Amino acid sequence: MKHTINAESPDSEKVDLSWLSNPPRHVAVIMDGNGRWATKRHLPRVMGHRAGAESVRRVVTASRQWNIPYLTLYAFSWENWTRPRLEVNALMALLEEFIDQEIQTMLNNSIRFSVVGARERLPESVFKKIRMAEDRTSACDRMVLTLALSYSGREEIVKAATAFARDVQKGILSPEDLSAERFSDYLDSRDLPPPDLLIRTSGEVRVSNFLLWQIAYTELHFTRTLWPDFSEEDYRRALMDYQERVRRFGRTGATPDEGAI
Ligand code: IPE
Ligand code: IPE
Ligand code: MG
């Protein structure tokens, strides 16, 4: 079921989208800076995560209004398991709370919920809640909201390589059958188009093991704004910035036959 989202909604006339003539189809976000946001206010880090959940709501709502069909949010990395247990537990509890509070809104707005990442490492209650939300929203077709949880780009690639090797071992495919396109079908994110735009908040200029395979030609937008402060206006600015980019994919302006040097 690849790329079947039709984001154009009948009520979209109500929102002014004249500024968004060339919207990205898939936006991915590294939501960073919750801890620093809290520390600046002499609050425990978990309060930063709570405030960050509000930003998630804002960005999901705006994406749906602006007819962006795919939104993928990096919520918890494979490496984040090494944080103090109390912080990890608080993040897991917030995640469950988020799903409970948002499931109805997702259904009302026809948003399909999905998760990529090593979900088997998640606590059972979170695992079950995710499955419930995925099942209940499976027929929604206006937008796909994907949370990257317990996610590692390298692990995703290794898992795909293992699955391919198994198919070779079973005699279904031979090693020469592998191509970049076929390899993509072994990834957890096989149903998502590659991101057009990747946003990272908090001033860090790195990828932190997010969607390594998928961002080969993604436009990158870095902002110093901490994730809990990331407003609808900040998001709009990121999309405006994206629209200014010239995406060459290796080409020049000329066609192969023009021969200009
Ligand atoms: C991002 O905020 C949220 C997660 C990684 C779960 P951080 O918790 O990384 O916040 P900083 O980077 O320490 O400010
Ligand atoms: C990346 O943020 C992961 C998420 C936003 C979930 P981190 O805060 O964990 O990344 P590093 O450690 O600064 O690279
Ligand atoms: Mg961080």
Conformation bin of residue 172: beta by default, left when phi > 0, alpha when psi is -120 to 50: alpha
Instruction: Report the relative pairing of strands 219-222 and 70-77 from DSSP bridges.
Output: unpaired
Give the tens place of pLDDT for each residue, 50-107. 999 999 999 999 999 999 999 999 999 999 999 999 999 999 999 999 999 999 999 9
Query: 111 burial class (0-12, 13-18, 19+ CB within 10 angstroms)?
Result: buried
**For residue 204, how far is the Cα from the chain centroid?**
17
Whose CA is closest to atom 3 on ligand 1? 32
Between the alpha carbon of residue 113 and those of residues 17, 127, 147, 185, 211, the distances in Å are: 25, 13, 8, 20, 18
CATH of domain 23-152+195-243: 3.40.1180.10
pLDDT surpassing 50 at residue 1: no
Q: Determine the Cα–Cα distance for residues 25 and 72; give it in Å rounded to an integer.
A: 11
| Domain boundaries defined on the chain | 23-152+195-243
Beta-strand relationship, 219-222 and 26-30: unpaired
29, β-bridge pairs: 73, 199
Mean pLDDT, rounded, of the chain: 95
CB distance 164 to 183 below 8 Å? yes
Residues annotated in the binding site, as ranges? 32-37, 45, 49, 77-79, 81, 83, 200, 206-208, 219
Q: How confident is the model at residue 11 (pLDDT cuts 50, 70, 90)?
A: low
pLDDT (0 to 100) of residue 241: 98
pLDDT band at 255 (very low <50, low <70, confident <90, very high): confident
Rounded CA-CA distance 126/19 in Å is: 39
Q: What is the pLDDT of residues 153-203, one digit of tens each?
A: 999 999 999 999 999 999 999 999 999 999 999 999 999 999 999 999 999
Q: Per-residue pLDDT for 30 more than 50? A: yes
pLDDT in tens, 111-122: 999 999 999 999
Ligand 3 geometric centre to CA of 106 (Å): 27
What does the pLDDT read at residue 254?
85
**Atom nearest to 208 CA in ligand 2:** 14
